[in-house]
Amino acid sequence: MNLLLLSNSRSPDGGYLTHAGEAIREAAAGRKRAVFIPYAGVTIRWDDYTQKVQGVFLPLGIEVATTHNSENPAALVAQAQIIVVGGGNTFSLLKCCRELGLLPLITRQVQAGAPYIGWSAGANLASPTICTTNDMPIVEPGGFDALGLVPFQLNPHYTNVLPEGHQGETRDQRIAEYLAANPAQRVLGLPEGDWLRVAGSQIKLYGPRPAQWFRAGQEPQTIDAPCTLSLG
């Protein structure tokens, strides 16, 4: 498989995916046509969302079609050269993909070699489930099972920082709750600015910040980028 899973879309300079341009070009592997799945967008019109993404991909020589403007979204995904899944609300994304029958089609295309490029909610969707998203469950997605393109859970936008005086749980505490209920799983806390590249069975971490690797009953392990993840 060929995956690019980004924690976030907004770059430190304020640009949209400007930090990811070379990674996107490398993951695209010379392919020139992508299908964008915009359903994580809730407070942005899908037409506007598509234009933002086209503004990133067209300068890289990649044309972008979108499922929401297609008479047959399933057929579009089933023939996709590149699959691009944007961020927003993961519950909305999963609900729409499930209702349109896109999940097995995405999996089939990616297993056949189509690059998968996702950020935030789009990265969450690549996990076995969406249970480690940070998003509010604003819609009922018909179950939490997702694509399972990677064999562990992702937590994009990972940070364990709390504002002074805030009395809620830290992110580490929330992940510990998930692992207490799902002790066989593992979670990768992916900080903003970081991304994963999956090529075949090799998974590499890139970016400016250390990630955190969580297992049930163990202290979080700090992982400095760049590195190859060990799943043992």
Catalytic positions are 120, 135, 157
Q: Let me know the angle formed at the C-alpha of 40 by 36 and 45, rounded to the nearest 5 degrees.
A: 80
CA distance 161 to 20: 25
d(CA 24, CA 11): 14
Ordered alpha helix ranges (H), 69-134:
73-78, 90-99, 103-111, 121-124
In angstroms, the CA 136 to CA 81 distance is 32
